[in-house]
């Protein structure tokens, strides 16, 4: 039985429960219920398809935050044949919200970094709900520079509600830690692949996200602000989060259209939490493909493409000065 159920998952869960009890009944009482079972199975399939192929942006955000959603270490367990975790920023502390280390993914030896959430309260206290402090970003940079030194590609797993807003984080300059990562990642002379596996929360996500290729899982999101935060500011009401989620264009298809992500990794119907192994297999295949390709790209080309990838993001127009006559004179719209 599922422990956590999102509102919109309920019809599916109810059908699953019905199915389960029917099967039990058939087995225990040794009666033939195959007709009923088949009926429910068909209904379950249809319901699943109906719900999960027409998810609203807000529903996707909820799936991205699903308490059973696989996290970075769940994936690593399945896709890495070897993992040596490396700790600490050599300055202040080891941030458990940011994990990193040497890993073997199929044919590739890589450095992995990424945010890690906790599964229960105790674990979440240790992982700080996946909200890294400055030392987390500095650890990530240290490991990326280590990777550069020994010519290992970096795979970055993004899954954070955001960088931690706290007194200590400010005292140790979380903004500077993120900014330095943005600058230094642009210059790293190794291939970099990022995957948004759950929440891509603003600067905290981008702080390990300046990569040659940025992929996203089908139901993950990537946003400048949480839908709740945006709703609180622009709608003056956190309850408007669903509207904000739609307005922010934070879903995988929207992000691909905007050029912010380069590819979408499919999830099992119902979300990644339904089948960890299948999700991990798809993730592994997608990362492998990107690494295979990036390792054939000459360094100079790699770096200029990385610059170009981010340089082109944004939409502006050049208009005549706001003349009183307000004659529209749009000359060019840069892509």
Partner 1 sequence: MFEKKPKLTSTKTKKRDIPSGLWVKCDDCDEMIYNQELIANLKVCPKCDRHFPMTARERISALADMGTFQETNANMTSVDMLKFTGMAAYTERLKTYQRQTQLNDAVITGLCQIRGHPVTLGVMDFTFLGASMGSVVGEKITAVIESATERAIPSIIVAASGGARMYEGILSLMQMAKTSAALARHAKERLPYIAVLTHPTTAGVMASFASLGDVIMAEPKALIGFAGPRVIKETTQQELPDGFQTSEFMLEHGLIDIIVHRKELRDAISKTLQYFAANGGRKSKAA
What's the 3-state SS for the chain? CCCCCCHHHHHHHHHHHHHHHHHHHHHHHCCCCHHHHHHHHHHHHHHHHHHHCCCCHHHHHHHHCCCCCCCHHHHHHHHEEEEEECCCCCCCCCCCCEEEEEEEECCEEEEEEEECCCCCHHHHHHHHHHCCCHHHHHHHHHHHHHHHHCCCCEEEEEEECCCCCCHHHHHCCHHHHHHHHHHHHCCCCCCEEEEEEEEEEHHHHHCCCCCCEEEEECCCEEECCCHHHHHHHHHCCHHHHHHHHHHCCCEHHHHHHHCCCCEEECCCCCCHHHCHHHHHHHHHHHHHHHHHHHCCCCHHHHHHHHHHHHHCCCCEEECCCCCCCCCCCCCEEEC
Shortest Å distance, C-beta 292 to partner 1: 25
Q: Is 180 a binder of partner 1 (CB under 8 A)?
A: yes
How many angstroms separate the CA atoms of 156 and 193, rounded? 6
Strand partners, 108: 105
Q: Is 174 a binder of partner 1 (CB under 8 A)?
A: yes
By CB under 8 A, name the one of 35, 107, 300, 316 that touches partner 1.
316
Ordered DSSP codes for 36-101: HHHHHHHHHHHHHHHHHTS--HHHHHHHHT-TTS--HHHHHHHHEEEEEE----SSS---TTEEEE
Q: Is 335 a binder of partner 1 (CB under 8 A)?
A: no
Q: Is 107 a binder of partner 1 (CB under 8 A)?
A: no
Q: Is 67 a binder of partner 1 (CB under 8 A)?
A: no
**Binding marks (x or -) toward partner 1, 6..45, rule CB under 8 A?**
----------------------------------------
Number of residues that bind partner 1 (CB under 8 A): 60
Written as six digits, the tokens of 168 are 């200590």
Q: What is the CA angle 269-248-48, rounded to 5? A: 15
Q: Is 133 a binder of partner 1 (CB under 8 A)?
A: no
Shortest Å distance, C-beta 24 to partner 1: 46
C-beta of 50 vs 176, nearer to partner 1? 176
By CB under 8 A, name the one of 202, 219, 273, 279 that touches partner 1.
202
Shortest Å distance, C-beta 308 to partner 1: 10
Shortest Å distance, C-beta 234 to partner 1: 3
By CB under 8 A, name the one of 40, 99, 113, 210 that touches partner 1.
210
By CB under 8 A, name the one of 5, 25, 36, 319 that touches partner 1.
319
Q: Is 307 a binder of partner 1 (CB under 8 A)?
A: yes
Q: Is 184 a binder of partner 1 (CB under 8 A)?
A: yes
Residue-level length of the chain: 335
Q: Is 182 a binder of partner 1 (CB under 8 A)?
A: yes
**Binding segment for partner 1 among 10-18, 107-115, 162-170, 267-275 (CB under 8 A)?**
162-170
**Binding segment for partner 1 among 8-16, 138-146, 253-261, 289-297 (CB under 8 A)?**
253-261
Shortest Å distance, C-beta 280 to partner 1: 26
Q: Is 207 a binder of partner 1 (CB under 8 A)?
A: yes
Q: Is 249 a binder of partner 1 (CB under 8 A)?
A: yes
Q: Is 287 a binder of partner 1 (CB under 8 A)?
A: no
Q: Is 315 a binder of partner 1 (CB under 8 A)?
A: yes
**Under the rule (CB under 8 A), what is the footprint of partner 1?**
163-167, 169-176, 178-180, 182-184, 186-187, 202-203, 206-207, 209-210, 222-225, 230, 233-236, 243-244, 247-250, 255, 258, 260, 307, 310-311, 313-322, 333-334
């Amino acid at each position: 039985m599922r422990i956590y159920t999102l509102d919109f998952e309920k019809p599916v869960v109810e059908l699953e429960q019905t199915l389960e009890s029917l099967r039990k009944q058939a087995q225990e009482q040794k009666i033939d219920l195959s007709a009923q079972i088949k009926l429910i199975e068909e209904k379950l399939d249809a319901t699943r398809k109906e719900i999960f192929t027409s998810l609203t942006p807000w529903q996707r955000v909820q799936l991205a935050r699903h308490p059973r959603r696989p996290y970075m270490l769940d994936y690593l367990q399945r896709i890495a044949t070897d993992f040596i975790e490396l700790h600490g920023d050599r300055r202040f502390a080891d941030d458990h919200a940011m994990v990193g280390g040497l890993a073997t993914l199929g044919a590739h030896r890589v450095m992995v970094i990424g945010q890690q959430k906790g599964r229960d309260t105790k674990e979440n206290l240790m992982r700080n709900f996946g909200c890294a402090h400055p030392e987390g970003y500095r650890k990530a940079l240290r490991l990326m520079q280590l990777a550069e030194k020994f010519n290992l590609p970096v795979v970055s797993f993004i899954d954070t509600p955001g960088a931690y807003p706290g007194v200590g984080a400010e005292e140790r300059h979380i903004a500077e830690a993120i900014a330095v990562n943005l600058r230094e990642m642009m210059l790293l002379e190794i291939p970099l692949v990022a995957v948004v596996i759950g929440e891509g929360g603003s600067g905290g996500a981008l702080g390990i996200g300046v990569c040659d290729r940025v992929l996203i899982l089908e139901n993950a999101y990537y946003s400048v602000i949480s839908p709740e935060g945006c709703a609180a500011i622009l709608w003056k009401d956190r309850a408007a989060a669903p509207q904000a989620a739609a307005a922010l264009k934070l879903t995988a298809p929207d992000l691909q259209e905007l050029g912010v992500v380069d590819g979408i990794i499919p999830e099992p119907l119902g979300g990644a939490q339904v089948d960890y192994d299948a999700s991990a297999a798809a993730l592994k295949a997608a990362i492998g493909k990107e690494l295979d390709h990036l390792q054939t790209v000459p360094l100079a080309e790699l770096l200029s493409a990385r610059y170009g990838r981010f340089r082109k993001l944004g939409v502006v127009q050049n208009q005549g000065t706001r003349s009183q006559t307000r004659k529209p004179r749009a000359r060019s719209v840069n892509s």
